[in-house]
Every structure is written in C-alpha cells, then in structure tokens.
Amino acid sequence: MAEAKTNRVLMLSDVHLCHLNWFGMTSEQRLDKMVRDLNEEFVRDPYDMVLFLGDYSLDFWVCNEGGSYLNEGHISNTANIIQKYFSQLPAPFYMLPGNHEQYAPETWKAITGFDRYYTVPYGEFVFIMLDTFSGNLGPDFHSDGTYEPADVNYIRKVMTENPGKKFFLCAHDFYTHEESEGFKKLLKEPDILGLFAGHTHESRVFWLGEEFGKKCLIRTGNYAYSHAFEGQFASWGWRELKTDVAHRKVFTEYILPETVYTVKGEKRSHERFRRDGIELRY
C-alpha cells in the first residue's frame, strides 16, 4: 500500500519504447530523457508514486511490419522498459496495460508483476486501475487491441470494500460511446471524483455530460509521438495530482519539462511550464 506522504502522485501514459525514432531522438534517447526528467522532478518536488496508464511498447502493433513480440521471437519491450528505465525511478510505480499490451493475464503478470486490473490505495483515496482493452488477449496475430467496457461490478465491489474513501477511475482509455448504462449510472456516485486516461497522446480535460454524472475525463499526455506535437495539447510530460484532504479538494495539472525537439528538420524548444489545471472538490 502506498501511504500518502507528500500528497502528490504523477501519471504518465503512452511512452512507447520501440524501434521508431520521433522528434529527433531514438527511442532510447527519449526514454533516457523521461527518466532524467522524472528524477529531476522528484528532487524539485517529491512525489509518492507514478501511475503508468498503458502503451509501453508497440509489442502487438498491427501497422507496417507488426510488433516486436510476435515478429522477433517474443521480444517484449514492456519487459525492457521496466528493466532499463522504470527501475531507475525514485518512487514506486504501478502499471496497467494499454491497447499495445495484449498479453494474456498470466504473461502480463509474469512480465510486470501486476494484474491487468487492481487497486492502488492512497490514504483517503483509491485508484481503481481498470483494463479496458481486455478483449482477445494473448493473440497470435498483430492487434491494436479490442476495447471492452469498464467492469462495473468490479468497481462497485471495490467501492463497497472501501467505505468512506474517494475513488479515481484509471484506464488506458474510456470509450464513452461504448460504455454501458450501468457505467453511466455508476458515475453519478459522488465518491467517484474523476476519470484518468491516456491513449490519445494529448493532455486535455473534458467535462462529460449529465448522463455521465458530469464527471471529468482527464488525459495524461504522452512521451512518444503526436501528429500535433508542436500544438497546444500534445507535448511530452506528465499529469500531477495533489490531494488536499483538509479542504476536501484535489488539484491536477499537466507538467511539461524543458524539451528540445525536432520537427521536419527544424529544432524547437520550450521551457518547463504547466497547463490544463483543474480543481475537483468533494
């Protein structure tokens, strides 16, 4: 169990250790930068843990030549990213699978040490780590993953077993147009404070409508590629979540470290900055 010490958690998604180069860096250079950035962030302002919300690889990639796991004798870049990069982080980390990690549950656990879905208690809060790409696991073909709606029964079970807690739902993505009526009803529960997801390689904040209990869907950005990298929503970074139990609120904001990158042969850069801040009260 992660005990709340600094009341600060970081979330990252879509880091994609693979054979491709993006924005003037090899995959290894980009992941080295990510580790340096996260270690420097810990020195600047310590955090209790990092939640990774999927897509560590292109292990089962359906595009071009396909992914490394099936093409290259079960080479797992998910395993490689843990051994070479996540192992250097200064705080505990937790992982849930993305649409590029279509490992059967037993293989996923052997590689990562985690189940495909589980909970992370954090003081007065519980992060419910959901597997929404649980269809067609362990495929013998290249795949971009098969979406499955959020497991409402599991979420309700966790909430029943943790009375008095507040909950964050985390997944690689939530396809709201495919979610069940039961999920929509569940989101009207006041103890669910918000939803966090990656997958789109953006940092954005979306207020869902009345049918979803007016909850907030918060995107966690990326550390890989984006077709709009130089745009407002797509630069490398992570989402910070700070809890304030005394004032019954949570604040989350996207943090972008100082970065130098290349687009179409042109070198660009930006200083460290923050954006997309939002306060959730309860």
- Which backbone phi and psi does 129 adopt, to 5 degrees? -90, 110
pTM of the model: 0.94
Q: Is residue 196 part of a domain?
A: yes
Q: Do β-strands 216-219 and 192-197 pair in parallel, antiparallel, or remain unpaired?
A: parallel
Greatest Cα pair distance in the chain: 55
Q: Is residue 1 part of a domain?
A: no
pLDDT of 9-39, one tens digit each?
A: 999 999 999 888 888 899 999 999 999 999 9
pLDDT of 171-200, one tens digit each?
A: 999 999 999 999 999 999 999 999 999 999
Predicted pLDDT of residue 1: 44
Domain span holding position 215: 8-281
- Which backbone phi and psi does 77 adopt, to 5 degrees? -70, -15
CATH code of the domain in which 220 resides: 3.60.21.10
- Domains held by the chain: number: 1
Q: Is residue 109 part of a domain?
A: yes
User: Using alpha carbons only, how large is the chain's radius of gyration in Å?
Assistant: 18
pLDDT of 218-257, one tens digit each?
A: 999 999 987 665 555 568 999 999 999 999 999 999 999 9
Strands (E), the chain: 8-12, 49-52, 93-95, 118-122, 125-129, 166-170, 192-197, 205-207, 216-219, 238-244, 249-256, 259-263, 266-270, 273-281
- Which backbone phi and psi does 266 adopt, to 5 degrees? -105, 125
Q: Is residue 163 part of a domain?
A: yes
Question: How far apart are alpha carbons 87 and 90 in whole angstroms?
Answer: 8
Residues 242 and 46 sit within 8 Å (Cβ to Cβ): no
Q: Is residue 191 part of a domain?
A: yes
Predicted pLDDT of residue 228: 60
pLDDT level of residue 2 (50, 70, 90 thresholds): very low
Q: Is residue 124 part of a domain?
A: yes
Q: Is residue 3 part of a domain?
A: no
Which residue has tokens 């997801």?
197
Q: Is residue 2 part of a domain?
A: no
